[in-house]
């Protein structure tokens, strides 16, 4: 059985790292899609972090065309639990120094 919360925690940690590092890259298609979605949900409150997340996902998609999925598919595939949960958890971590 897959540990959904563990996977979510790992992806959240990677999102925070990518949000804070303008040179970050996605390791795989899952991270690239989650980074892209994470950027969307924090854009208004964290514009710098949004740019970093989108750039990290774009670097992956530029070299792996065809791996981009629609936001709803990210949720359906179980890569994140829900958009509100992703936003709340990510914003809380980004507020921490």
DSSP state at residue 46: -
3-class secondary-structure state, position 64:
coil
Q: How far apart are CA 9 and CA 51, in angstroms?
A: 22
CB 81 within 8 A of CB 8: yes
For the segment 44-87, what is each residue's pLDDT rounded down to a tens digit? 999 999 999 999 999 999 999 999 999 999 999 989 989 999 99
Q: What is the pLDDT of residue 29?
A: 97
Instruction: Indicate whether 1 pLDDT > 80.
Output: no
Mean per-residue pLDDT over the chain, rounded: 93
Closest CA to 8 of 88, 91, 96, 86: 86
- pTM tops 0.85, yes or no: yes
């Amino acid at each position: 059985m897959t540990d959904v919360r563990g996977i979510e925690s790992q992806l959240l940690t990677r999102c925070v790292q990518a949000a804070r590092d303008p040179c970050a890259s996605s390791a795989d298609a899952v991270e690239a899609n989650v980074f892209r979605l994470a950027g969307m949900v924090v854009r208004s409150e964290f514009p710098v972090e949004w740019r970093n997340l989108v750039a990290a996902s774009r670097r992956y998609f530029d070299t792996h065309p065809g791996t981009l999925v629609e936001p709803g598919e990210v949720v359906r595939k179980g890569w994140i639990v829900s958009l509100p949960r992703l936003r709340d958890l990510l914003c809380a971590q980004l507020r921490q120094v």
